[in-house]
Structure 1
Amino acid sequence: MNLKLKRIKELMAYTLQVLKEEGIGPVLRRAIGFIKRRFFGKKARYLPKKQVLEAQRREGAQGAPGPVISICVPLYNTPEPFLRQLLDSVLNQTSPGWELCLADASDDAHRPAVKKLVDAAAQKAGERIRYKVIENKGISHNTNHAAALATGEYLALADHDDVLAPHAIYTVQKAIAETGAAFLYSDEALFTKKIEKPMVGHFKPDYAPDYLLCCNYICHLAVFRRSEFLAVGGERPECDGSQDHDLFLRLLERLEPSQICHIPQVLYYWRVHAASTSGGVAAKPYVAKAAKKAIADHLQRTGQQGEVKDGIFPSTYKVDWVIPGEPLVSILIPNKDHTDDLEKCLASVYGKTTWQRFEVIVIENNSTDPATFEYYEKAKERFANLQVVKFEGGFNFSAINNFGRKFAKGEYLLLLNNDVEIINGEWLTEMLMQASRPGAAICGAMLYYPDDTIQHAGIITGLGGYAGHSHKYKKAGGSGYMFRLATVQDFSAVTAACLLVRSEVYDEMEGLDEGFTVAFNDVDFCLRVRDAGYRIIWTPYARLYHYESKSRGSDEKDKAKKERFATEQKRLTDRFTRRGLTHDPYYNPSLTLDREDFSESADLRNLKDPQTAL
């Protein structure tokens, strides 16, 4: 089917589902939002409505809604227009509960102009602006001097050429008051001249520790307790270039996840120009070296064993983890006839896999072709550690795998479809690296269609109303949204077409829920694992082809199958609720739920009015 037609058909199905479940109102709001965004421009699209800002100012006039936040900015030969915009953005905050700490390392030729602008701002703000001339010894040294001027309970880091959103301090203070978080970070946007005309937003997931190891997705605006900053000794000059990434790792390794808060608001505008890292790391080539040191030092401090390497793209990194021992992996492959598919799968597993400690359990499910059973006998002779077990009963993917688990001896189970083909020999090693880490339980893989477009790069709940695959249909080889196609990262779920799980966790969850006979069994299983406190990780370094649904055909035109699918949709919603599904912590609410491409949502009510629930 033509890709555009397929997308239109999927979108129409989702629209009808929303109409049925939520009524005409939500459908119209989405349609109006799409039309506004597509045809009436994007000006100030990340800024709250004027009446919202005015209400915040009235509240701020009665007192700040939370603790004082000290904004720490190292200055160095700052261009006057850039510094003026920064100062104005601080002076125009809707909450008065801030102080601005400026450490000026400018040379003699530039300092008078810088100081003149600072003095003018200080006349308006008084003692809330603290300024000190220092010797230039690098970004970390200069930032630490700015922080030394601070008296606020929390610190915020800002670059001298960037801009704070007018509601930044207010919003962070509110979040602190509500959550008590020790570390908070927001979404951000890139701009060139005016924040009313942003280039693009960076809409981030909630705290994602595995993603953070591969790239500094947190960036701006980051706010944290001053006591924590002092406890870790501030920023380290030896990590200049990736000093913030290093600082975040050192701060966050001291905190519990409940102390870390992501604010899904664009509170910071990052200026793009030739000398800025927002324009690419080519401007600062020492960034990669510093980042790898920051990650390696983090591993050493936390007692983790691994080698830090460059990632697939600049500004991304990879850890080759040491796998404890030599665990056995039990590969479970359900099969009904389709021996050509199974042969391709087995030949690639045995012919390419570099991890040698595995067994294969083919779970026979009601095959009718006598040639299938002849194939099984020959396969057991050709492939070592392969057994065929017979499941009796109708097709139920969950029950079939639960049955196969009874015969598995491995410390890990790999659920694998019979219609996949291995691409790279390290695939299983890469998955074991992730699933064997403390706190992790599941790892998923990159799956491609035969035409080298993406079939699966992690599952996002809420897409299409229930769940969908990240970056589906995108061409192979790209970095994806904020490097999310090119980095190991956290997800709420991954597909059971290739899913590695600790055997003890599989048993703890009592396996797959057999109430999901075909659809959503993997989503349900992963969400139960996630809610039990384990991490689900996806890696782009395990790559397979997936000849999707060949073994059971399409459900679209079969009435009974459509009814079963609707029943399984309801079962998923009843268990996790509509809100639970549409608020995936690893997917930002400002991104669309209508497509898999991480495009910006047509409905940005949560940015226009932060009090409005999605």
Structure 2
Amino acid sequence: MWMIPTVAGTSSRRASSLKRLGQRMNVRGLARRFAYAFGKASHYLREEGIQAVVGRFARRLQRQYRQARPSANYRAWRNAFEPNAVELQRQTLWSQQVNGPLFSVWTTVADGLPLKNLQQYLKLTADSLARQTYSNWEWIIVSDRPSAEILDLANDESQIRVIATNEADWIGHPKGAFVAKLNLGDRLPPWALFAVADQLDEDSEIDVLYGDHDVWTPTGQRCFPTLLPDWSPENLLEANDIGNTVFVRSEFLRTCDDKPTSSWETLLLAAERASRVCHIPQILYHRCPETESRENAEDCMAKTLVRRGINGQVERQPNRRLRVTWPVDSLKTVSVVIPTRDRFSLISTCLDGLLNQTAYPSLEIILVDNGSTDEDVLALYESLNGDDRVRLVNFDQPFNYSVACNIGAKAATGEYLLFLNNDIEVVDPDWLTELVRWGERPEIGVVGARLLFPTGKIQHAGLALGLTSVAGHLFSNVPPGTPSPLGDSESLRNVSAVTGACQLIRTQLFWDVGGMDEEFRMTYSDVTLCLKIWQQGYRNLYTPHATLVHHESATRPLGDSLEDLELFVDFLVKRGIDRDPYFHPALECLATTPRFRRTDEQNTIEQLACWIDRFQTTTQPQTQTELEQAA
């Protein structure tokens, strides 16, 4: 163990003089900060209006409140589920018995950091490395002009090296098989390197690994936990939620033509070139906000778009995340399939929104009517006879949602299929353009929109398996932007499934997986469609930038059919699906707004297992060949 010396004290007279000087400088500093804040507020007031300024102020107060009073749920979860002393001892013994990879952890020390702060932050990071249960690591400190304190630290410990160079030239120096950046003052929990080594012991082909993180405040509180989904490349186009500490295979970095200059850029390159990326669902580092470096997000994303050949635009949103857009091919037709019956007020509102309030020009509407008798609805159909954009398909059978969707899809002529409920109301003219923008991406399967209740609260922001029952809506019945450890409803996110109330997919891909499964009469065929496509290697996507109002199930009752529920559980068993990769095992299964579980609460994995046990069939999971044939 090494010690970092402290700064010697000054005389009382000098201290008094410095205090008076500091007070005078502090007054000037406060005045500058006030002028800066007033200027920013004036700018936002002119550009965005009073509502945006109030919203920014409220969000900042909320962040400060959460930091001052860390979540009791998070504290309880840490005490119950993070590795205890016995587990840490087991990890130490394991590490001594295996010949695991060397990890090169590197930290950049900027010039001009006050000596006292430098010593403090060096000690925080150094002590966290010394406490690792996995000991095969080196710490590389990168500095243009390393101070005496840094050099003394390296002289005392063989696992620490100092490289007198700038940050851009460090990449050729690490000896380790994997490298990870750790900001000065950031800390690794004792199990961090073991967790990475253990994962690599199971799968040696992984190129990039990342975990969850939180903030360790100067007062010693752990707060702001950020839990992450499994690998979600589309999320990275808005923000680097993964953070700075990412473990990357050294060989992968050396083979990149464009050497990444930040962790965000490394992750974006990994989305393009890495063979395997792994998420470890544990807190793997503690951020130090005081030393956090700011990445030039717009420049980073602009470089990414050029590298990927996308003629896109990058804009900063009010929530400080980015939004990337690009022109869409509006000549490709979207066939909107709407199963419907009666309910004039609903279908007339839905059709008016599609025909008169939607900016995307190339669409056809296929009304799959299940025996409407309402005179106003029949008169509406008659009035639309001359509109080439609308076709009526009669469905004179007992209602089956899946059959109705397939009948409408067979009548469609468009390159895209959009399955839409008849109780949807258009409130944003660009909603369909946004869905097509992502639907035309070859790596994307099914795209879903942000659906709101008429009250303005979230109805749908993607689905998670095992949430509330076997599958549930994220952030349901809370205001947009409600925070959680897993983000909020206003972020672009990869999901396992999106609701069939608004579901866009390429027509060819829909038929490639066999369309809707007609065994499901009322529910879950929309979810199984998404899961079949996900198992084919496509990623499903929820976008908050397409907003609709959903008067949910106004045409048919809420609730799951028991037969459909049993069929869905059987589907999961046959497909070998036992968890949601985009939800987190630290979260409990009944709260649609993600929150940490208690010891007496189940997570979604355990919830799914209970449903599978309840409806267990004799059918065993299929082989990979059988899965491909089934899809």
TM-score bracket for the superposition, by shorter chain length: 0.7 to 0.9
1:266 matched to 2:301: no
| Runs (5+) with no aligned partner, structure 2 | 1-70, 604-608, 611-631
Q: Which has the higher contact order (CA 8 A, sep 6+)?
A: 1
How many Å separate the matches in 2 of 1:83 and 1:495? 49
Question: Which deviations, in whole Å up to 9, do the C-alpha atoms of 1:547-574 show, x marking residues without a partner?
Answer: 001101344xxxxxx6xx2221121111
Partner AA of 2:148 in structure 1: P
SS at match of 1:199: strand
**Segment drifting more, 516-525 vs 296-305:** 296-305
Q: CA 1:304–1:438 in structure 2 vs 1: closer, same or farther (change >3 Å)?
A: farther
Alignment-derived partner of residue 376 in structure 1 = 381
How many Å separate the matches in 1 of 2:377 and 2:195? 63
Task: Give the alignment partner of residue 93 of structure 2, picking from 49, 58, 80.
Answer: 58
How many residues end up aligned between the 2 structures?
A: 529
- Contact 1:232/1:251 (8 A) holds in 2: no
Deviation (angstroms), 1:480? 5.9
Superposition pairs for residues 388-537 of structure 1, below 5 Å?
A: 388-478=392-482, 483-537=487-541
Deviation (angstroms), 1:427? 0.5
Deviation (angstroms), 1:193? 4.0
Alignment-derived partner of residue 245 in structure 1 = 264
Alignment-derived partner of residue 253 in structure 2 = 229
Alignment-derived partner of residue 303 in structure 2 = 297
Partner AA of 1:296 in structure 2: A
Deviation (angstroms), 1:166? 0.7
Alignment-derived partner of residue 368 in structure 2 = 363
1:72 matched to 2:106: yes
SS at match of 2:549: strand
Partner AA of 2:167 in structure 1: N
Question: Which deviations, in whole Å up to 9, do the C-alpha atoms of 1:242-278 show, x marking residues without a partner?
Answer: x22112212432123xx111111111111233x536x
How many Å separate the matches in 2 of 1:574 and 1:444? 25
Deviation (angstroms), 1:308? 2.2
Alignment-derived partner of residue 183 in structure 1 = 208
Deviation (angstroms), 1:231? 2.2
Q: CA 1:176–1:144 in structure 2 vs 1: closer, same or farther (change >3 Å)?
A: farther
Question: Which deviations, in whole Å up to 9, do the C-alpha atoms of 1:203-223 show, x marking residues without a partner?
Answer: 101110111111112214310
Partner AA of 1:445 in structure 2: A
TM-score by length of 2: 0.78
How many Å separate the matches in 2 of 1:117 and 1:350? 70
Q: CA 1:539–1:478 in structure 2 vs 1: closer, same or farther (change >3 Å)?
A: same
SS at match of 2:385: helix
Q: CA 1:399–1:578 in structure 2 vs 1: closer, same or farther (change >3 Å)?
A: closer
Q: CA 1:466–1:606 in structure 2 vs 1: closer, same or farther (change >3 Å)?
A: closer
Partner AA of 1:576 in structure 2: L
Deviation (angstroms), 1:143? 6.1
Partner AA of 1:79 in structure 2: L
How many Å separate the matches in 1 of 2:169 and 2:258? 6
- Contact 2:496/2:534 (8 A) holds in 1: yes
How many Å separate the matches in 1 of 2:81 and 2:222? 8
- Contact 2:183/2:292 (8 A) holds in 1: no
| Runs (5+) with no aligned partner, structure 1 | 1-35, 135-140, 238-242, 278-283, 556-561, 608-612
- Contact 1:364/1:390 (8 A) holds in 2: yes
How many Å separate the matches in 2 of 1:59 and 1:143? 36
SS at match of 1:308: strand
How many Å separate the matches in 2 of 1:492 and 1:425? 27
How many Å separate the matches in 2 of 1:223 and 1:39? 25
Task: Give the alignment partner of residue 84 of structure 1, picking from 123, 140, 145.
Answer: 123
Deviation (angstroms), 1:482? 5.3
- Contact 1:471/1:480 (8 A) holds in 2: no
Task: Give the alignment partner of residue 93 of structure 1, picking from 105, 127, 132.
Answer: 132
How many Å separate the matches in 2 of 1:596 and 1:61? 43
How many Å separate the matches in 1 of 2:335 and 2:72? 50
1:199 matched to 2:223: yes
TM-score by length of 1: 0.81
Alignment-derived partner of residue 243 in structure 2 = 219
- Contact 1:103/1:143 (8 A) holds in 2: no
1:548 matched to 2:552: yes
Higher-Rg structure is: 2
Task: Give the alignment partner of residue 167 of structure 1, picking from 182, 187, 191.
Answer: 191
Superposition pairs for residues 17-166 of structure 1, below 5 Å?
A: 41=76, 44=79, 47-64=82-99, 66-76=100-110, 77=113, 78-105=117-144, 111-120=147-156, 122=157, 126=158, 128-134=159-165, 141-142=166-167, 144-145=169-170, 147-166=171-190
**Segment drifting more, 572-581 vs 154-163:** 572-581
Alignment-derived partner of residue 572 in structure 1 = 568
What is the root-mean-square deviation of aligned Cα atoms in Å? 2.7
Partner AA of 1:61 in structure 2: Q
How many Å separate the matches in 1 of 2:573 and 2:300? 40
Deviation (angstroms), 1:118? 4.5
How many Å separate the matches in 2 of 1:194 and 1:166? 20
Q: CA 1:352–1:299 in structure 2 vs 1: closer, same or farther (change >3 Å)?
A: same
Alignment-derived partner of residue 336 in structure 1 = 341
How many Å separate the matches in 2 of 1:606 and 1:144? 48
Alignment-derived partner of residue 5 in structure 1 = none
Deviation (angstroms), 1:41? 4.5
Partner AA of 1:309 in structure 2: E
- Contact 1:312/1:486 (8 A) holds in 2: no
Question: Which deviations, in whole Å up to 9, do the C-alpha atoms of 1:124-177 show, x marking residues without a partner?
Answer: xx2x2112344xxxxxx42643x4431111111111111011111111111112
How many Å separate the matches in 2 of 1:54 and 1:579? 38
How many Å separate the matches in 2 of 1:376 and 1:262? 52
SS at match of 1:530: helix
SS at match of 1:471: coil
How many Å separate the matches in 2 of 1:379 and 1:430? 27
Deviation (angstroms), 1:81? 2.3
- Contact 2:484/2:595 (8 A) holds in 1: no
Question: Which deviations, in whole Å up to 9, do the C-alpha atoms of 1:414-447 show, x marking residues without a partner?
Answer: 1111101011100100000000012112210010
- Contact 1:187/1:264 (8 A) holds in 2: yes
